[in-house]
Amino acid sequence: MGNLLEWNGENGRTYFYQSEYPYDVDTDYADAGFASYKVGDNVSTHEAWGVGVYSFFKDHTVDMESGIKAPSNEGVKFHNSLSVLLNGSGSIKHIINE
């Protein structure tokens, strides 16, 4: 199990991406640094609208660092992104990066 979606191409566009982290993972999943939506480190242009990342960690307290991970540059843009803890224990500490 790893990132739920990983985008490594240039000029990508995403409209309305919604996903939930797996419900039955343990704390090792968060420690591995996975994200729900990951844009590759070498990507210079990518744009996304309406990216939502949800969590319901039912068995363990899982604290994910970020729902979205992407390079920090002018060509990579996110609009109206969010994260939501639906239920359970744990958190998504940051919507995007740190």
Catalytic amino acids?
20
CA distance 29 to 83: 17
Q: Which residues of 26-50 are buried (b: 16+ CB within 10 A; e: fewer)?
A: eeebbeeebbbbbbbeebebbebee
Q: Which token pair is 46?
A: 């990518």
CA contacts within 13 A on the Cβ side of 35 = 22
CA distance 4 to 1: 8
